[in-house]
């Protein structure tokens, strides 16, 4: 059996603008993993947590992977991403020596998020993580992808394998989202830690960054999920109607992200916070332009007191799902979490800057995902 574990993600800077050519976005990997295991089977089968863990036979027609029986409505969204990833991997494997092997692919989350009731899902990029974990496990099952060992166990895929994995997963994820999306969430699940993505006409360009330990981040959740795709569609439609305003927004957003990157590379904290504050104001203006608030009501309440602690901004394109508080003084974390709770927000106990996808034999793979520097 082969197992792959992929992290979730949170966008730090560059929301929406990273969708367009010339845009840049910065993202961090979150150690809320999706686990995919592949073992032998007489026929190709896929088991998903959303289906109650029961395996179902699938067929592949050379382009699409189709379940033998119709999927329940509540499982269709998660299943589409995984099945699209399976199809991309099978097409790649079929063209390589050795060909296809029957398999049982089992995709699930390793654990819930502390403080979040089972069945409730904060916007942590789980669809991208499921795509990456499923594709990595299936590729490893057929050919092996292992590179160097990680500190916690398991193996990080070799660099060339990471590039292949990213390409296949990006294709699958975009196909499932109707061509929408920058690929920043997929890149973060594949490469891990802190990832800078620049969108170009020929595709995303990925670079890794190092986040300073002195700049602590509190993740806050509103308690309500939000759909990304309709908001991106609204953004794209509004951009077509008023390209000048949105081009200015994208240029200003890029400048903010570039300022964050420069400060990170110079190991300077205050310029990072200044640039993030500017980007938070840009997102507020964007929300007003779109008629879609970027904050939930709970986040709006906390914003009134957030300056006491640092910089507070929404994360990602979900609009009111998750937000980030960048602390000027890490020792005030408990006080900040109490203030978040008082406003109706849930501080999430998740590790950031986690490693990218890891391949191993179960416990080794999970251990390998631990955030660098953590025990």
Residues 6+ apart with CB under 8 A from 312: 280, 299, 302, 303, 306, 323, 324, 325, 326
The residues pairing with 13 across neighbouring beta strands, listed in sequence order, are 26
**Domains of the chain from N-terminus onward:** 2-14+27-209+354-368 (3.30.230.10), 217-348 (3.30.70.890)
Residues 6+ apart with CB under 8 A from 269: 212, 214, 215, 263
CB 317 within 8 A of CB 228: yes
Burial label for 63, CB within 10 Å (0-12, 13-18, 19+), is exposed
CA–CA gap between residue 276 and residue 270 (Å, rounded): 10
The reported pLDDT for the residue numbered 80 is 85
The reported pLDDT for the residue numbered 185 is 93
CA 19 to chain centre: 14
CB 210 within 8 A of CB 267: no
The reported pLDDT for the residue numbered 368 is 42
Residue-by-residue pLDDT tens, the chain, 375 positions = 889 999 999 999 999 999 999 999 999 999 998 999 999 888 888 887 654 555 677 777 767 787 777 766 656 677 888 889 999 999 998 888 777 888 889 988 766 777 777 667 778 888 899 999 999 999 998 876 654 444 444 566 776 889 999 999 999 988 888 777 789 999 999 999 999 999 999 889 999 999 998 899 999 998 877 777 788 889 999 999 999 999 999 999 999 999 999 999 999 999 999 999 999 999 999 999 999 888 888 999 999 999 999 999 999 886 668 999 999 999 999 999 999 999 999 999 999 999 999 987 544 443 444 444 443
Helix (H, G, I), strand (E, B) or coil at 97: coil
- Contacts of residues 289-295 at CB distance under 8 Å and 24 or more positions apart, as own/partner, are 289/238, 289/245, 289/249, 290/231, 290/234, 290/235, 290/238, 292/231, 292/234, 292/319, 293/319, 293/320, 294/319, 294/320, 295/320, 295/323
The reported pLDDT for the residue numbered 17 is 95
CA–CA gap between residue 293 and residue 286 (Å, rounded): 9
Burial label for 331, CB within 10 Å (0-12, 13-18, 19+), is exposed
């Amino acid at each position: 059996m082969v197992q792959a574990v992929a992290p979730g993600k949170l966008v730090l800077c560059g929301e929406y603008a990273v969708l367009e050519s010339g845009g840049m976005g910065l993202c961090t990997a979150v150690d809320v993993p999706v686990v995919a295991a592949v073992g032998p089977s007489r026929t190709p089968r896929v088991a998903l947590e959303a289906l109650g863990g029961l395996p179902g036979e699938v067929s592949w027609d050379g382009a699409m992977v189709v379940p033998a029986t119709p999927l329940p409505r509540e499982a269709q969204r998660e299943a589409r991403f995984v099945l699209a990833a399976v199809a991309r991997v099978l097409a790649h494997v079929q063209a390589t020596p050795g060909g296809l092997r029957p398999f049982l692919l089992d995709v699930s989350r390793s654990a819930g998020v502390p403080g979040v009731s089972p069945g409730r899902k904060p916007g942590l990029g789980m669809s991208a993580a499921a795509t990456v974990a499923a594709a990595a496990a299936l590729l490893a099952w057929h050919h092996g992808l292992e590179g160097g060992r990680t500190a916690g166990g398991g193996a990080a895929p070799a660099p060339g394998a990471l590039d292949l994995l990213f390409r296949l997963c990006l294709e699958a994820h975009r196909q499932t989202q109707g061509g929408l999306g920058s690929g920043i969430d997929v890149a973060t699940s594949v490469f891990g830690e802190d990832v800078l993505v620049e969108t170009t006409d020929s595709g995303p360009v990925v670079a890794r960054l190092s986040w300073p330990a002195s700049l602590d981040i509190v993740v806050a959740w509103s308690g309500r999920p939000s759909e990304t795709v309709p908001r991106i569609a609204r953004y794209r439609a509004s951009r077509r109607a008023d390209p000048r305003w949105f081009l200015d927004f994208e240029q200003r957003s890029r400048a903010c992200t570039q300022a964050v990157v420069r400060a990170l590379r110079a190991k300077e904290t205050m310029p990072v916070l200044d640039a993030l504050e500017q980007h938070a104001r840009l997102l507020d203006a964007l929300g007003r332009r779109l008629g879609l608030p970027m904050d939930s009501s709970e986040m709006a309440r906390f914003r009134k007191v957030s300056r006491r602690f640092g910089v507070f901004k929404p994360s990602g394109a979900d609009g009111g799902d998750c937000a980030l508080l960048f602390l000027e003084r890490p020792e005030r974390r408990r006080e900040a979490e109490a203030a978040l709770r008082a406003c109706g927000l849930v501080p999430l106990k998740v590790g950031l800057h986690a490693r990218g996808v890891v391949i191993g034999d179960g416990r080794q793979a999970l251990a390998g995902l631990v955030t660098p520097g953590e025990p």
